[in-house]
């Protein structure tokens, strides 16, 4: 359509038509890996090399111009509405098109060689339907699942747009953007309830012309949806994804304890879960992580530890012990240091490889299980009748 009153000749001449898919939706490079993007752009008369170069420039150099020149909008899918910093941990909330917010956390991880690298914790949903009693996000209920582009956008914001901490800026270098080494799907939501968006997001994040992360640098954490674990198992058979990490929030040694804290367990008991875990066709070197949130008086006894280690025998995995981070209005306190150490010591004595997860971001409610905005939660409840 011709603009009835072009402001300048230049915009009238150069403004390309917006690229759309066959179904009339705007083409979004955040939702497509480079191969699919380039194919789709060929229908709009963009050559393969030009499409690929534009995709790469945006993801690699944060340069939107080549994409804009071929009619692809690079407008951000969200706006940073809050950042909270604790040390080098940065939690940020993106307000999405419909006013809901996703939350992500950039976490420094110490490297064995000294120094540190950054892990980005992304959300796959706003809120969560799983109802785990210890988790802040569960208190929101599920407001909605995120689209592929909204998941990838969390990486793009962290990588290029998110301000760096004041100390880092003082030490020199750019004012925004964080080098991201690993991505974990451990923010808000249950990834297995949204695999149709999560798997394409993994494709984009691993794309060599895009963010270019190795699959082994990405881990998906789940409450343990058996069907989801099977689907993920099929996905990782594809070349390039074999190293994808899987983390399972086991959190209990048996059905009695798990039923009490994770409603999913009543539908999918712990034996069925372990059957699915054992059948998962991971590469021998790929990470399988068993997460265990240690909650005082619930699952922290040494007998619990022994029973859990019995279940893990023969499974090549690391046991990640996560000291409980109290959610708002928590019925439980954080565990005593001595309890955490005793539990970990016992697991080691049982021959289990153990890691302890730090509690970074606790003060900004950015640690594991603390994501969730109580205002959105109230608004969402009114709006959806949850
Ligand atoms: N739904 C997914 C991913 C989100 S939770 C899952 O359940 O795995 C990410 C991790 O944080 C899970 O291992 C979960 O058990 C843990 N977690 C949840 N609430 C927590 C809390 N209050 N303190 C410590 N860890 C918590």
For 311, phi then psi, to 5°, come to -65, -30
Residue with CA at minimum distance from ligand 1 atom 17: 369
Query: What local confidence, expressed as pLDDT, does residue 46 receive?
Result: 95
Q: Tell me what the mean pLDDT of segment 5-23 comes to.
A: 50
Best residue for ligand 1 mutational test, from 194, 247, 369, 372 (most atoms within 8 Å of Cβ): 369
Q: Which residues contact 175 (CB under 8 A, 6 or more apart)?
A: 163, 164, 169
Residue with CA at minimum distance from ligand 1 atom 1: 190
Cα 21 to Cα 13, 40, 53, 103, 296, distances in angstroms: 23, 7, 20, 29, 52
Percentage of the chain exceeding pLDDT 90: 75
CA 371 to centroid of ligand 1, rounded, Å: 10
- Decide if 309 is catalytic: no
Instruction: Please name the fold of domain 80-384.
Output: TIM Barrel (3.20.20)
**Helix or strand run (H / E) with residue 383:** helix 374-384
Q: Which of 258-262, 283-287, 364-368 is most confident?
A: 258-262
Residue with CA at minimum distance from ligand 1 atom 13: 249
Taking phi over 0 as left and psi of -120 to 50 as alpha, with beta for the rest, 372 belongs to: left
- What's the pTM? 0.90
Percentage of the chain exceeding pLDDT 70: 91
Query: What local confidence, expressed as pLDDT, does residue 375 receive?
Result: 64
Residue with CA at minimum distance from ligand 1 atom 4: 186
> What is the Cα–Cα distance from 245 to 287, expressed in whole angstroms?
5
Ligand 1 atom index nearest CA of 223: 7
Lining residues, ligand 1, CB within 6 Å: 134-135, 186, 190, 221-223, 249, 251, 291, 293, 322, 324-325, 327, 368-369
Ligand 1 atom index nearest CA of 134: 22
**How many CB atoms within 10 Å of residue 53?**
16
Instruction: Express each pLDDT in 145-175 by its tens digit.
Output: 999 999 999 999 999 999 988 888 888 888 8
- In which band, very low, low, confident or very high, does the pLDDT at 6 lie, cut at 50, 70 and 90? very low
Query: What local confidence, expressed as pLDDT, does residue 240 receive?
Result: 93
Query: What local confidence, expressed as pLDDT, does residue 245 receive?
Result: 95
> What is the Cα–Cα distance from 236 to 217, expressed in whole angstroms?
14
**How many CB atoms within 10 Å of residue 278?**
9
Strands, sheet with 182-185, edge to edge from the N-terminal-most edge strand:
79-86, 89-95, 101-110, 116-121, 182-185, 218-222, 245-249, 288-294, 318-323, 354-356
> What is the Cα–Cα distance from 364 to 90, expressed in whole angstroms?
9
Q: What is the DSSP letter of 364?
A: G
Buried b (16+ CB within 10 A) or exposed e, 56-86: bbbbeeeebebbbebbbebeebbeeeeebbb
Q: Which residues contact 287 (CB under 8 A, 6 or more apart)?
A: 216, 219, 245, 246, 247, 318
H-type alpha helices, 95-216: 148-156, 166-170, 195-206
> What is the Cα–Cα distance from 203 to 144, expressed in whole angstroms?
22
Strands (E), 198-310: 218-222, 245-249, 288-294
Best residue for ligand 1 mutational test, from 102, 134, 135 (most atoms within 8 Å of Cβ): 135
Q: What is the DSSP letter of 113?
A: T
- Lowest mean pLDDT: which of 5-19, 235-249, 303-317? 5-19
> What is the Cα–Cα distance from 247 to 352, expressed in whole angstroms?
16
Instruction: Express each pLDDT in 186-196 by its tens digit.
Output: 999 999 999 99
Residue spans of the domains in the chain: they are 18-74, 80-384
The yes-or-no verdict on residue 14 having pLDDT over 80 is: no
Query: What local confidence, expressed as pLDDT, does residue 1 receive?
Result: 37
Ligand 1 atom index nearest CA of 247: 8
Strands (E), 211-333: 218-222, 245-249, 288-294, 318-323
Residue with CA at minimum distance from ligand 1 atom 19: 369
Q: Tell me what the mean pLDDT of segment 85-113 comes to.
A: 91
Query: What local confidence, expressed as pLDDT, does residue 69 receive?
Result: 95
**How many CB atoms within 10 Å of residue 149?**
19
Assess contact for 197 and 185: CB atoms under 8 A.
Answer: no
CA atoms within 13 A on the CB side of 80: 18
The yes-or-no verdict on residue 198 having pLDDT over 80 is: yes
**How many CB atoms within 10 Å of residue 182?**
18
> What is the Cα–Cα distance from 212 to 251, expressed in whole angstroms?
32
């Amino acid at each position: 359509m011709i603009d009835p009153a072009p402001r300048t000749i230049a915009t009238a001449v150069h403004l390309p038509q917006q690229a759309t898919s066959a179904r009339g939706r705007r083409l979004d490079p955040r939702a497509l890996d480079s191969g699919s993007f380039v194919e789709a752009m060929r229908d709009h008369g963009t050559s393969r090399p030009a499409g690929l170069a534009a995709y790469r420039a945006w993801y690699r150099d944060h340069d939107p111009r080549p994409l804009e020149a071929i009619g692809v909008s690079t407008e951000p899918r969200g706006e940073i509405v809050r950042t909270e910093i604790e040390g080098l941990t940065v939690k940020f909330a993106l307000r999405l098109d419909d006013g809901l917010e996703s939350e992500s956390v950039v976490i420094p991880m110490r490297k064995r060689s000294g120094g540190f690298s950054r892990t980005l914790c992304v959300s796959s949903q706003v809120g969560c339907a799983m109802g785990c009693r210890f988790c802040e996000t569960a208190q929101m209920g599920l407001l909605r699942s995120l689209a592929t582009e909204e998941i990838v956008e969390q990486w793009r914001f962290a990588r290029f747009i998110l301000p760096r901490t004041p100390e880092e800026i003082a030490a020199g270098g750019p004012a925004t953007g964080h080098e991201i080494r690993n991505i974990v799907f451990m923010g808000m939501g249950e990834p297995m309830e949204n695999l149709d968006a999560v798997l394409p997001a993994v494709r984009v994040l691993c794309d060599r012309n895009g963010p270019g992360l190795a699959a082994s640098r990405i881990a998906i954490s789940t409450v343990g949806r058996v069907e989801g674990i099977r689907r993920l198992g099929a996905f990782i058979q594809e070349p390039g994804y074999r190293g994808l990490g899987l983390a399972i929030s086991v959190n209990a040694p048996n059905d009695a304890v798990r039923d009490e804290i994770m409603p999913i367990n009543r539908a999918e008991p712990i034996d069925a879960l372990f059957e699915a875990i054992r059948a998962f066709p991971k590469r021998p070197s790929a990470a399988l992580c068993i997460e265990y949130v240690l909650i005082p008086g619930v699952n922290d006894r040494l007998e619990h530890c022994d029973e859990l280690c019995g279940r893990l025998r023969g499974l090549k995995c690391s046991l990640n012990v996560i000291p409980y981070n109290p959610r708002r209005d928590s019925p439980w306190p954080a565990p005593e240091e001595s309890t955490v150490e005793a539990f970990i010591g016992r697991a080691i004595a049982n021959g289990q490889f153990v890691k302890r997860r730090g509690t970074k971001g606790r003060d900004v409610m950015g640690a594991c299980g603390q994501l969730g905005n109580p205002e959105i939660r109230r608004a969402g409840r009114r709006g959806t009748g949850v």
